Structure 1
Amino acid sequence: MSNIDFSQPQRQSVKGLVLIFLQEGRRGLQAFWPVIVGILFAKHSGKKILIIGAFVLLAVILTLIHTILYFRAFRFHIENQQFILKKGYLSRKTLTIPLDRIQNVNTNQTVFQQFLGVMSVEIDTAGTSQKELKISALTKPVAVQLSRILSSYIEVQPAESGEAVRTAPPEEKLVMQLTNRDLLKIGISQNHLKTAVILFFFGIQFYNQVQQYFKEKAAEYAHEATVFLSQSGWAILISLVIFFLLVSLLYSMVRTAILFYDLRFYKLSQSYRIVSGLLTRKNVLIPFRKIQQLNWETGPIKKLFGIYKVNILQATSGVAVKTALIEMPGCLDQHIEGLKSDLFGPDELKDQPVIRSSRVYFRRTWIYKGWIPAILFSPLLLLNWLYVFLLITWILFMLIYSLLTLKKSYFQVSHGQIRVSSGAIEHHFKQMEFHKVQHLEFSQSIFYKKHGVASLRIGNASGFIRLPFIDERIARALHDYLLYYAETSDRVWM
């Protein structure tokens, strides 16, 4: 592969014209799909059909002209330790990104991009005011070479001069690769109840949009469904719930395969690289120094399979959230230990005492999530005696849930790190270093002050860690220590 001179302005591949045209057409369909559906199902005379056809043809021509002008105006190059991109034909825009501000350089390739023989390069500048920058249609040699050049600047720490240092591409070590069997385990161990709730509310939102254009039919079908459910017995309702959970299971399996197919986790000298995806093949570089927090979790089914789900959190400015969290399921114990060793060094938290939340946390959880909902739904007892059984079951379930929440709510702290445990059915862990702390929040209501407890939120550039209902003296001491550490530490947070 010949070297490309990126000091000279470069354009996207000519094949990108097709991709840009289809992307603009898709945006139009997404914005006006209800109107389009209404037009398609409405009755039209021959004259109206000609008028509609003329409007469609005009829209296609305007989109084609926009595509050509946008393509010709889109150029990028590297100059004076900066990546410069110019775009726009009516309003010219120039984006300038210092190379040492680049958070990630990722390459993606959808199925259609594979057909065209092009790739997209995403340059994430999370932690600054810049948005994620995306070049959608580069040939594979150009995309790979540009990605390697930019990645070589962010693989190591900046020099003392403050300028990014370019190094030779480091050697990679394959740490983990997911097989089809691993994907099956991951899909089965997902939170299917949560997925079912999401699908349910998505269905309601879809119904509300359709109802605006098919009011009579939608109302008629909704009435028939309501009558059917009201006249059905418990067996039908339970069958519908089981069916909905099975649909959720299928959705989780398909989603897992699409997102994490052939996931490969590589370790470089000072960063990780993750390649995954079925329909869209993503290639993500994660420098160690820009990782703000490490999260991992397990659950009953995950424990049975001996796997964890890991989330690696990077700095984000709020406009590039989707690239701030890197999800990596199917990890084993040795992978968790390796991540902690790479990011935090020797485990100095292992021998530290466990500090638990107060029993006030248990009482609050049981009251707010158990008794208050039961009281609100108590009028249902007048309709059917079976609701008595359901409400008692709910209160007992939330009793167990609250006890598990208290049992798993604890943290360990050392001179420069903290590890927090939380969860009820699932078990979540979060770990971060103190020099990455960005803000603190000490909270204590009058009621909790009476019981001598308080809550503490420790924020970083990717989110926060919460310590709920801990001893007030410990909360204040930790709060003051973190403020002192932030003022005296000379370590950079990114």
Structure 2
Amino acid sequence: MKTEAFSTPQRQSVAGIALIFLTTLFKFLRSFWVLGVYLVLKTPSGPVLFYILLGLAVTAILLIIYSVLYYRNFLFHVDYKNEEFVLQKGVISTENIAISFDRIQQVYFKRSLLERIINVYSVIIDTAGSNNEEVKISAISKQDADALAAILTRVKNENIEGPLEGEEEVTADETWTYKLDVLALLKIGVSSNYARGLGLVLAFFMTLYNELNTFFKDYKEELGEYYETVPNVLDSVGIFSVLLILLLFVSIAITMLEVFIKYFGLKLTQTRDNMELEMGLKTNTKVSLQPRRVQLIEIVTNPVKKWLNLYEARIALASSENSLQKKKIKIPGLGAGEVIKVQKFLSGDLERSFMKIFRPHRIMLLRRIIIVLLPLLVSYLLFYWKEYIDFSIWLVLALGYLLLGITYQILKYRSLELEFSDEFLLKRQGVWNKREESVEIFKMQGLTVKQPVWYRKRNLVNVEFHTAGGDISFRAVKKTVTTYLNYILYKVESGNKRWM
């Protein structure tokens, strides 16, 4: 009689002892790094050095004992009868965790540099309603990791009586594969938002500039004429322009480095039952996505990326987080064809029998323009109270601010769309970064309709659509939208599809 996989309690790979020891040692050293610096600077000798070495030896022995005990007490198995994953762990106090299959939202793999060296995987399990990873099983073989992930992501009502043996039974036939090459990574790095990198580099150079000024002032007498020369050079327009260009290139380089570290080796594979994503240079992550567990899909691009045929898919699973930005899986560097394949597999065909598009009322644009005018009004009142700048300069700056601010608000207003179809809800927005969020109607968990006092005369409402992966809101829309909201409620109540 064959034994079902993982039906009996088992431990991690023996290599897990080394992994636990080194991880605990790193945490220990990170906590007491100040003491280490002190000892290096003081360079103790004699009895003091002996006691320090003795203390380090005792600490290392205690860490080894802790690692062995943690390894031996870490037991996990699959309860097929109750359809649960059961984990027991702990050294001083024992913790028992039981997770039912239908609560598991995502099972994915991570591999740090150390785990890749010893050729093991970490399996991480996310559950519905959990902000953080609930369970992490370190140091197991690839075959065991694949088998465990396949079991844990099964649908609750599937027949799980048969054994799972070997790779042939845990891996479905491959349908198509997409790999992100080095050229695509370079394109992503060049076209990505590198404002954050520019800000970091700018802050560094500003700090360096202030330190140089302070240094030259402190040693003014010793440096003599050099003190008068250097600040003038630093303050010149030419040097400032060169530094600005240099900062721009450095920020792009930082962004490209970040892109390479996060997305190097990205591989997207669709099989019959799921879609597997693997990526990462420093920490390699492997995620398996099932269509019924995907709650929201967001497609992001900008004019430069669109010209380069680059799109980014952001996929949200069930989470207690209230925003797609907080809980998402990013797949960058997709072409238009790959985006269609991803959408079609994870949420079905986007073809619709009917379509209705709503746009916000122009009162929203008016309110946004008023908000743009407020800082200008404050600056004018300050100028009227005290002339802190020449009026002609203020006028030029004010006109430039008005032109940019109002143009941006008009473009943002025009980009807002809310689309209803027979099976999907879509929201589009964005001036530079174009974003399209889509959700299958049967996965809706609730609707909220609010009507502020100032909307009643114009018969407008604010609507919010709640899903397990985040909320989609739309403001200042005509009240006729309630007809389509009722349709959504009907589809949710009358349907029998599983949304998790």
Normalised by the size of structure 2, how large is the TM-score? 0.81
Shift of 1:428: 0.4
Shift of 1:292: 0.5
Shift of 1:82: 2.4
Shift of 1:422: 0.6
The secondary structure found in structure 1 opposite 2:173 is: coil
1:436–1:493 Cα contact (<8 Å) kept = yes
Alignment of 1:393-408 (within 5 A): 393-408=400-415
1:102 counterpart residue number: 104
The 3 A distance-change label for structure 1 pair 144 and 226 is farther
CA distance in 1, matches of 2:438, 2:161: 28
**1:172 correspondence with 2:171:** no
2:333 counterpart residue number: 330
1:124–1:323 Cα contact (<8 Å) kept = no
* Alpha-carbon displacement from aligned partner over 1:128-157 (angstroms, at most 9, x marks no partner): 699431111123343344334445xx2xx4
Shift of 1:402: 0.9
Alignment of 1:308-457 (within 5 A): 308-318=311-321, 324-349=327-352, 352-368=355-371, 370-375=372-377, 382-383=388-389, 389-457=396-464
Shift of 1:27: 2.6
- The residue identity in structure 2 corresponding to 1:192 is Y
CA distance in 1, matches of 2:231, 2:466: 47
1:135 counterpart residue number: 137
**1:288 correspondence with 2:291:** yes
- The residue identity in structure 1 corresponding to 2:345 is D
- The residue identity in structure 2 corresponding to 1:106 is Y
2:353–2:422 Cα contact (<8 Å) kept = no
CA distance in 2, matches of 1:134, 1:390: 55
CA distance in 1, matches of 2:53, 2:91: 28
1:455–1:475 Cα contact (<8 Å) kept = no
Unaligned runs of 5+ in 2: 218-229
CA distance in 1, matches of 2:49, 2:237: 50
CA distance in 2, matches of 1:433, 1:418: 6
CA distance in 1, matches of 2:324, 2:462: 26
The 3 A distance-change label for structure 1 pair 129 and 428 is closer
Shift of 1:430: 0.6
1:67 counterpart residue number: 67
CA distance in 2, matches of 1:87, 1:187: 42
1:349–1:418 Cα contact (<8 Å) kept = no
**1:301 correspondence with 2:304:** yes
Shift of 1:26: 2.7
Shift of 1:125: 2.2
**1:159 correspondence with 2:161:** no
Q: Which has the larger radius of gyration?
A: 2
The 3 A distance-change label for structure 1 pair 286 and 5 is closer
Normalised by the size of structure 1, how large is the TM-score? 0.82
Over the residues paired in the alignment, what is the CA RMSD in angstroms? 3.9
Shift of 1:321: 9.3
CA distance in 1, matches of 2:49, 2:3: 54
1:474 paired residue among 450, 471, 480: 480
Percent identity between matched residues is 26
2:323–2:469 Cα contact (<8 Å) kept = no
Of residues 449-458 and 374-383 in structure 1, the stretch that sits farther from structure 2 once superposed is 374-383
Shift of 1:239: 5.2
The 3 A distance-change label for structure 1 pair 7 and 470 is same
The secondary structure found in structure 2 opposite 1:91 is: coil
CA distance in 1, matches of 2:65, 2:269: 43
The 3 A distance-change label for structure 1 pair 37 and 299 is farther
The 3 A distance-change label for structure 1 pair 49 and 321 is farther
1:492 paired residue among 463, 486, 498: 498
The 3 A distance-change label for structure 1 pair 130 and 45 is closer
Matched positions, count:
471
CA distance in 1, matches of 2:331, 2:250: 24
The 3 A distance-change label for structure 1 pair 234 and 90 is same
The 3 A distance-change label for structure 1 pair 66 and 419 is same
CA distance in 1, matches of 2:28, 2:374: 46
2:105–2:126 Cα contact (<8 Å) kept = yes
1:187 counterpart residue number: 189
The 3 A distance-change label for structure 1 pair 377 and 114 is farther
1:193–1:248 Cα contact (<8 Å) kept = yes
Alignment of 1:455-470 (within 5 A): 455-470=462-477
Unaligned runs of 5+ in 1: 208-217
Of residues 440-449 and 269-278 in structure 1, the stretch that sits farther from structure 2 once superposed is 440-449
2:214 counterpart residue number: 224
The secondary structure found in structure 1 opposite 2:454 is: helix
**1:247 correspondence with 2:244:** no
Shift of 1:48: 6.5
**1:274 correspondence with 2:301:** no
